[in-house]
Amino acid sequence: MEKHDLKFMEEAIEWADACHPARESIPKVGAIIAVGDKAIGRGRRGTGKDGDDEHAERNALDHVQIQDRPKLAQATLYTTLEPCTPFVRSKPLECCTELIRQHQIKKVFVGILDPNQGVTGKGLWHLQDTGVDVALFPHDLSKKIRIQNAAFIRSQQTLGATILTPRDGDELRTYETGGRHAIRFKCLNPPGPDTYLLEYRDGLFWPQAGPFREIERNVWEIDAHFGTTGEFVLQLVTGNDLGNALVAYYRKVVEENRRRRERLRGKVDLSLLGGDYPGIAVNGLPKGLRLEASVTVFVAYKVILKFASVEPKTIRRGKTLKVTYLIESSESVPHKIWLGASFRDGGGKLFHNTKEDKPISLKKGEHAYERDFTVAANAPTGEQMLGVNIWRGIPGDSSKSKCIASGTPVPIVIS
């Protein structure tokens, strides 16, 4: 190693210091291209914002003057971070290792390996495979770079996940898909054997069986299976030894439950055995599991408004009629259900009465329910179509509720 090599390594670190990444997942990188003791190109990593995400090596190459370009075949590149590979770029031929190969750069000094699991070591191998002489910065300089990129390194040691679908607050109609719903997420690093999807509801966790499926680069999917309805929190987590042991034990219990069920099939009433998938009862995320991303969803029960009728069918302004709803529900729902009714005039004006929007307790099966509807004193006369629907949420407040079933509008005549 020559004296000027150390000088350019330190200069590359100084250039990296001037980086201002927009988020932790973007590193601070400096790059110097030199021939002997003369620098011919300098660059640093962009912020990561739109239009400013150039890698330091590309930036340095772009700043090499035309008259100096023939010298690149004899040049040395000093970069504080391992050059990226085709596997982590949407345009593989624009990755840094490929650019180094294309410009026939003779030697590359690397500050630290890229902690991104898609790059670690692969950049060095790719350069060596193409005949480039590769060496590492001295330990004391590498330590400076690690400190300089502490936030970036920390971000790369996590899954770096964002759940794409479902979105927070979505309603899942799993009764249409056999109790299953696909969870899709984007991540910096691929899920490994210590990555899990958990369902959480009412103090219980259910680890999902998997597997994870890669849909496209950095986008993965796993099926969540729901045995009941209501509000769930879906959590992507990473486990350490303790967390992995907990999930492994849970899966062992599930498998034993299933074997027991098969042994007793035809001998006892299997419904007495309970479910095969007991939840893990714990207050908060179990120890040994680190949260990566989460969303809250509502697994809907199946509710059908089969029929609605009114009495009387002809009514004067200011008077009240009775609306009867025939509803079929897949389960009993004791609260947060209400009956809505309204109509619009020819100009689109809405006529309804939130004080009469009636909260009910749904019973499993097919049952009739009633509510009042008072016709406003300024309502239009003639035939109107009364809309009827069922809501989940705060009675009378459609902005904080979700319509879960609608029926055929009922004709009424206002005189």
Do 348 and 331 contact (CB within 8 A), yes or no? no
CATH number, position 401: 2.70.50.60
Cα 28 to Cα 22: distance, rounded to the nearest angstrom: 11
pLDDT tens for 161-214 read 999 999 999 999 999 999 999 999 999 888 989 999 999 999 999 999 989 999
What is the count of structural domains for the chain? 3
Dihedral pair phi/psi, residue 363, rounded to 5° = -105, 145
Q: What is the pLDDT of residues 135-166, one digit of tens each?
A: 999 999 999 999 999 999 988 878 889 999 99
Are the C-beta atoms of 197 and 293 separated by less than 8 Å?
no
> Residue ranges of the alpha helices (H) in 276-399?
none
Domain boundary among 250, 278, 299: 299
Residues 172 and 310 in one domain: no
> Phi then psi for 169, rounded to 5 degrees?
90, -5
DSSP characters over 142-164: HHHHHHHTHHHHHHHTS--EEEE
Domain identity same for 216 and 167 = yes
Q: Do 96 and 84 touch, CB atoms closer than 8 A?
A: yes
What is the pLDDT averaged over residues 97-105? 95
**In this structure, are 13 and 95 located in the same domain?**
yes
Answer for the pair 328, 199: CB distance below 8 angstroms, yes or no.
no
CATH number for the domain harbouring residue 181: 2.60.40
Same domain, 295 and 326: no
State whether 192 and 131 are in the same domain: no
| Residue 70 half-sphere exposure toward CB, CA atoms < 13 A | 1
Answer yes or no: do 13 and 139 share one domain: yes
**Nearest CA among 125, 95, 114, 91 for reference residue 189:** 114
Asked if residues 160 and 23 have their Cβ atoms less than 8 Å apart, the reply is no
pLDDT digits (tens, 9 = 90+) for 236-263: 999 999 999 999 999 999 999 989 888 8
Could you say which of 114, 140, 156 is where a domain stops?
156
- In Å, what is the CA distance from 223 to each residue of 34, 117, 183, 251, 292? 52, 24, 6, 16, 17
Q: Tell me, what DSSP letter sits at residue 191? A: -
Residues 165 and 88 in one domain: no
Alpha-carbon distance 98 to 95, whole Å? Answer: 5
* Burial class, 395, CB count within 10 angstroms (exposed 0-12 / middle 13-18 / buried 19+): buried
Domain that holds residue 324: 303-414
CA distance 267 to 256: 17
Q: What pTM was computed for the model? A: 0.67
- Same domain, yes or no: 180 and 266: yes
Residues 247 and 322 in one domain: no
Do 197 and 259 fall within a single domain? yes
For residue 143, the domain's CATH number is 3.40.140.10
> Which helix (DSSP H) or strand (DSSP E) does residue 241 occupy?
helix 241-264
Q: Where are the alpha helices (DSSP H) in 90-227?
A: 96-102, 122-129, 139-148, 150-156
pLDDT above 80: residue 223: yes
Of 299, 331, 356, the residue at which a domain comes to its end is: 299
227 has a pLDDT exceeding 80: yes
Kindly state whether residues 272 and 391 are assigned to the same domain.
no
Among 76, 73, 69, 12, residue whose Cα is nearest residue 38: 76
Residues 247 and 379 in one domain: no
Q: Tell me which of 77 and 347 has the higher pLDDT.
A: 77
